Amino acid sequence: MKFPARRRFSPLRLYTLLLIAWLLLPIAVMIVFGFNDVHGKQNFRWEGFTLRWYTHLFAKPDLTTAALNSLTIAALSTAMATALGTPLGLALARHRFRGRGTATAVLFLVIACPDLVMGASLLSMFVTFDVPRGYPTILAAHTMVATAFVATTVRARAVSLDPSLEEAAEDLGATAWPRFRLITLPLITPGILAGALLAFVLSIDDFVIANFTSGTTLTFPLWIWASTRTGTPPQVNVLGTLIFAIATALAALAGIRGSRTQRKPASRAPRSADAVGR
Amino acid sequence: MPFSRRLAPYLLVLPGGLWLAVFFVVPVAMMASLSLQTGNLIDGFRQTFHWQNYTDGLGTYGDTFVRSLWYGLLATILCIALAYPAAYWIAFRAGRRKSSYLLLLLIPYFVSFVLRTVAWKLVLTDNGPVLGPLRDHGIVPSDFHVLDTTTAVVAGLTYTYLPFMVLPVYVALERLDPRLIEAAHDLHADRTAAFARVVLPLSLPGVFAGVVMTFVPASADYVNAEILGGPRNTMIGNVIQAQYFDDGAYPVASALSFTLMAILLAGIFLYARALGTRGILDTPTP
């Protein structure tokens, strides 16, 4: 029962491709319905092709504001979380100190806790202290979540580093700051970048935490949520398509660069060391 | 020098630690406190250690809690079943294209999940591109719905959290040394035995991480139930959201959120104990 000519056909490969197709289906629908020539409020039925929504992309000023809020909150919270989370992750990986166990547990809780609970608890605090909700509270909340993710990725990276590299720098007379700048920082950069990327994606996609901490300020997902009751306008599809296109292009570029650097022997070294250690 | 050495870790931890304390630890404590208060939006809330908020909340919404955990469990099981074969194929058979397939699995996250759920609603709506023609040709009865059913909500949850399962399982399988499988074959294990006794046990930490990463957010989700479900599919997240925003019943809403957090964290803890995986803090993140 062997057909050598057909041996390359693999049911698992077909299955994986079907699964990916299922994951991508709603995105295809989103893109297609951004070109839909609708006249009513409901963008549910195909009524012909138009580029109208692309030329009138900014026709809804509050939608534009919401999209800009999403972008700036994501950028700012990523920057703040990188600054706060990197030293935290480094300290957890490198130092023994009082409160280390507590800090580790808090990081795990932030990552494991459902967004709903974090949003609800933040709202409880803001209500108790009478803090008005808006842009700053969303930013603070996103920074908190992102800090935990950056600290976790940086710690994972820093733990796997060889401490003798820093000791060598010290032996050669490097003081604390140059030692950090020239040795530690370049080595932990992949961890920082992975954490920052995660922080940005989580912030721009977040609906639940923003739902609880936004007050009357709207982000892109909040605007879409509000529009589901009356009908989501095609501009939402267009903005979603553009964000998707830009993010995919950036990820593909990063992937190409990543696969190039992976072929260098230096970055393969930790893996082979890993295999020997097993 | 020794003094500043000893001080260094505290200086490194202080800014981030303070931020996490102010915007995570304190809020959870405030929520715990609010959950025992009485009052209303106009007169304000006062601490009265009103434990009835918990019993009232659980009494009224007990079945909603059970439904949320049930939906979360169903979605998690479906995620394992759907994700494992794909993760296996990508880890062992995809060769040079591994990273391309992983990127394809992650691409949905470049579109806001609210928007993806809205797109599913568009696909599955009664007169939409799928059901419309099926109904017109009499293939399904005209009172056949997909939206507003348990199936729609569980499918939506499975769709939303599937990549959270694929990634950790993939990471666990990718780390697996192929020489172990060769060794199993050398010891006369057939393919089934090699899979059941070598590959599967070694991939369980990844499945474990995936279960935590899908079950917790799926049980607490309210977007899928709101957009794809009907009144009979209400999850605890919908209740908590409505209690905070529509009813202003902050104490009961806090009690429900706190109960949800306690149930899910206790679940993770017991689960970790039962599985005996090395420290749950080692779980890979995407």
| Domain ranges for chain A | 22-56+234-258, 61-232
Indicate yes or no: CB of B119 within 8 angstroms of CB of A29: yes
Q: Is A2 left (phi over 0), alpha (psi -120 to 50) or beta?
A: beta
Given this model, what pLDDT does residue A260 score?
63
Instruction: Report yes or no: B171 and B284 within 8 Å, Cβ to Cβ.
Output: yes
Q: Is A47 on the interface with B (CB under 8 A)?
A: no
SS3 B32: helix
% of chain A exceeding 70 in pLDDT: 89
Among residues B250, B251, B249, B217, the alpha carbon closest in space to that of B235 is found at B217
- Please state, for a pLDDT cut of 70, what percent of chain B lies above it: 95
Q: Determine whether the interchain pair A124/B222 forms a contact, defined as Cβ–Cβ distance below 8 Å.
A: no
Helix (H) or strand (E) holding A108: helix A100-112
pLDDT tens sequence across A166-189: 888 888 888 888 888 888 899 899
Q: What angle do CA B220, A24, B142 make, to 5 degrees?
A: 80
Given a cut of 50, is residue A4 above it in pLDDT? Answer: no
Nearest chain B residue to A206, by CA: B112
Q: What is the pLDDT of residue A269?
A: 39
The CA-based diameter of chain A, rounded to the nearest angstrom, is 74
Domains in chain B (CATH in brackets) are 64-123+153-275 (1.10.3720.10)
Provide the residue type at A9 as one letter.
Answer: F
Share of chain B above pLDDT 90, in %: 55
Residues of chain B positioned with their CB less than 8 A from the CB of A275: 177
Q: Which of A137, A129, A29, A146 is nearest to A85 (CA)?
A: A146
**pLDDT score of A1:** 44
B145-156: per-residue pLDDT in tens? 889 999 999 999
Confidence check: pLDDT of B39 > 60:
yes
3-state SS, residue A225: helix
Give CA–CA dist A180/B269, Å, rounded. Answer: 37
Q: Return the closest-CA partner of residue A64 out of A177, A168, A220, A205.
A: A220
Q: Which residues of A touch B217 (CB under 8 A)?
A: 114-115
Interface check for A35 against chain B (CB to CB < 8 A): the answer is: no
Please say if the pLDDT value at position B225 is more than 80: yes
Helix (H) or strand (E) holding A30: helix A11-33
Kindly state whether A71 is in contact with chain B, defined as any CB-CB distance less than 8 angstroms.
no
Is A114 within 8 Å of B85 when comparing Cβ atoms? no
Q: Give which of A103, A105, A97 is closest to A84, Cα–Cα.
A: A103
CA distance B41 to B45: 7
| pLDDT band for position B98 (cuts 50, 70, 90) | confident
- Evaluate whether B121 touches B228 at the Cβ level (below 8 Å): yes
pLDDT score recorded for residue A192: 93
Residue-level pLDDT at A39: 86
At B285, is the pLDDT very low, low, confident or very high (cuts 50, 70, 90)? very low
State yes or no: pLDDT of A159 exceeds 60: yes
Question: In this predicted structure, what is the pLDDT of residue A3?
Answer: 46
For the cut 80, the answer to whether the pLDDT of residue B280 exceeds it is: no
ipTM of the predicted structure?
0.89
User: Which has the higher per-residue pLDDT, A110 or A46?
Assistant: A110
- pLDDT tens track for A240-276: 999 899 888 888 887 777 666 654 444 433 433 333 3
- pLDDT reading at B278 higher than 70: no
* Amino acid identity at A42: Q
For A:218-237, CB contacts with B below 8 A are 220-221, 224-225, 228, 232, 236-237
pLDDT of residue B21 exceeding 90 = yes
What CATH number matches the domain at A61-232, 1.10.357.10, 3.30.70.100, 1.10.3720.10, 3.40.50.300? 1.10.3720.10
Confidence of residue B221 (pLDDT cuts 50, 70, 90): very high
For residue B96, give the DSSP letter.
G
Question: Which pLDDT band holds residue A226 (cuts at 50, 70, 90)?
Answer: very high
Per-residue model confidence (pLDDT) at position A264: 46
Question: In sequence order, what are the residues at sequence separation of 6 or more whose Cβ sits closer than 8 angstroms to the Cβ of residue A122?
Answer: A137, A141, A209, A212, A213, B23, B27
List all residues 6 or more positions away from A263 whose beta carbon is below 8 Å from its beta carbon. Answer: none
Query: Could you tell me which residues are beta bridge partners of residue B239?
Result: none
From CA A198, how far away is CA A181, in angstroms rounded?
Answer: 24
| Residues of B whose CB is below 8 A from A109 | 24, 265
Residue A198 has pLDDT above 60, yes or no: yes
Query: Which residues of chain B does A44 touch, with a Cβ-Cβ cutoff of 8 Å?
Result: 122, 125, 127-128
DSSP tag of B147: T
Q: Which residues contact B118 (CB under 8 A, 6 or more apart)?
A: A224, A228, A232, B227
All residues of chain A having their beta carbon less than 8 Å from the beta carbon of residue B122 are 29, 33, 43-44
The pLDDT value recorded for residue A272 is 36
pTM: 0.88
DSSP H or E stretch at residue A51: none
Report in angstroms the alpha-carbon separations of B138 from B141, B143, B149, B274.
6, 11, 21, 51
Condensed to tens digits (0 to 9), the pLDDT of residues A91-118 reads 999 888 888 999 999 999 999 899 999 9
- Mean pLDDT of all residues in chain B? 89
